Amino acid sequence: EAGVVQSPRYKIIEKKQPVAFWCNPISGHNTLYWYLQNLGQGPELLIRYENEEAVDDSQLPKDRFSAERLKGVDSTLKIQPAELGDSAVYLCASSRRRGQGNEQFFGPGTRLTVL
Amino acid sequence: SQQGEEDPQALSIQEGENATMNCSYKTSINNLQWYRQNSGRGLVHLILIRSNEREKHSGRLRVTLDTSKKSSSLLITASRAADTASYFCATLTQGGSEKLVFGKGMKLTVNP
At B32 the pLDDT is 94
pLDDT (mean) for A33-61 = 92
Walk along chain B (112 residues) and give the pLDDT tens digit of each residue: 556 778 778 999 999 999 999 999 998 888 999 999 987 678 999 999 999 999 999 999 999 999 999 999 999 999 999 999 999 999 987 765 667 889 999 999 999 9
CA distance B22 to A108: 26
Residue A71 has pLDDT above 90, yes or no: no
- B80-104 pLDDT, tens digit each: 999 999 999 999 877 656 678 899 9
At A23 the pLDDT is 97
**Residue among B43, B45, B92 whose CB faces A100 most closely:** B92
Find the radius of gyration of the CA atoms of chain A: 13
Residue A102 is given by DSSP the state S
Peptide bond preceding A108: is omega within 30 degrees of 0, i.e. cis?
no
**Residue among A42, A56, A108 whose CB faces B104 most closely:** A42
Which residues make beta-bridge pairs with A22? A7, A76
At B71 the pLDDT is 96
Which uninterrupted H or E stretch holds B1?
A: none
Residues in contact with A60: Cβ distance below 8 Å, sequence separation at least 6, in sequence order: A46, A47, A67
Residues in contact with B69: Cβ distance below 8 Å, sequence separation at least 6, in sequence order: B24
At B27 the pLDDT is 87
- A83-101 pLDDT, tens digit each: 999 999 999 999 987 655 6
Residue of chain A minimizing CA distance to B30: A101
Contact residues, A window 63-92, toward B, CB-based 8 Å cutoff: 91
Residue A15 has pLDDT above 70, yes or no: yes
Contacts of A49 in chain B (CB under 8 A): none
CA distance A4 to B7: 30
CB A34 within 8 A of CB A75: yes
At B25 the pLDDT is 92
Peptide bond preceding A8: is omega within 30 degrees of 0, i.e. cis?
yes
CA distance B20 to B8: 9
At A74 the pLDDT is 96
Q: How confident is the model at residue A32 (pLDDT cuts 50, 70, 90)?
A: very high
